[in-house]
A = this chain, B = another copy of it.
Amino acid sequence: MASTKSRLPRNVTSTSLKDRIYQSVKWSLIIGEYFPGSVLSLRSLAKKMGTSTMPVREALTRLASERLLQSSVKRSYRVAELDPKRVADQFFVRARLEGIATELAVPNMTAREIDELEALSQMMEGDIESGNNENYIVRNYNFHFSIYAASQNEELFWSIERLWAQTGPYLAQVVRSQEMPKEWQLLHTQISRAIRGRSAGEAARLIEKDISWSISTFEAFTASEDKS
C-alpha cells in the first residue's frame, strides 16, 4: 500500500504522522478496501497504526470534511452508506469535471506520457481478459489521473480526486464482485488513441462515456442487490 502512495502528488515534506495516516486511509477508500458502513474508530485505528489517537482523529476529521467519511457527534466515523441519489450526483459532477480536465490535458501531453498511457490501457485489457479486477482498479486510477495531471490545473485535479475517493468504496465493490463488462475492454485504448491524435473533444467524450458506463454498471448492480 505504501508504494502506491508515490502516485499521489503532494508536498515533498509531508512527514507528519497525521498526514501519513490520512493518505493511508484515503487510498484504502479509493481502492475500495473499506465497505460502505464500515466503522473506523479512533482508538482501534490508532492501535493498528501504533500511534496515539491524536494523529488519527486529525486524519479522520479531514476525511470527514472531504465527505469521504460520515460523522455525527459522539458517534463513530463510518464510510458513508449507499445513497443512490448522492452517488448519482457524484458521478454527474465527475463526468463533467473529468471531461473538462481531459480537454485541457490533450494538447499538453508529451509523446512519452501518451506511450505510458497506451501501455497502461494494454495492461488493463489484459486485466479484464484474465479477470484480474484488483490490478484493474489501480491501473484505472493511474490511467485517469495521469491525464488529469496533464491538465496542469491543480484545483481541477484535487476536485476530481476528492470525488474519486467518494465514489471509490461503491464502485470498487461493484468491480470486485463481478466480471467486468466486455465493452470496457477497448475504451481506454480508444482514449489514448484519441489523445495521440490530439482530438480533445473526442477524448473528453470517451472519458465521459467511461464514467456513464460506470454509472449504469453500478446501477444495475444495486438493482440486482435489492432483489436478493
Contacts and interface: CB of A to CB of B under 8 A. Distances in A.
A33 to B, nearest CB: 20
A178 interface: no
Interface in A86-134: 86, 89-90, 92-93, 96-97, 100
Interface stretch (A62-70, A138-146, A195-203): A62-70
Given A57-B58, A155-B86, A155-B93, A72 B11 contact: yes
A154 B65 CA distance: 14
A147 to B, nearest CB: 16
Contacts of A65: 22, 62, 65-66
Contacts of A163: 155
Interface of A: 11, 13-16, 18, 22, 57-58, 61-62, 65-67, 72-73, 86, 89-90, 92-93, 96-97, 100, 153-156, 158-159, 163, 166
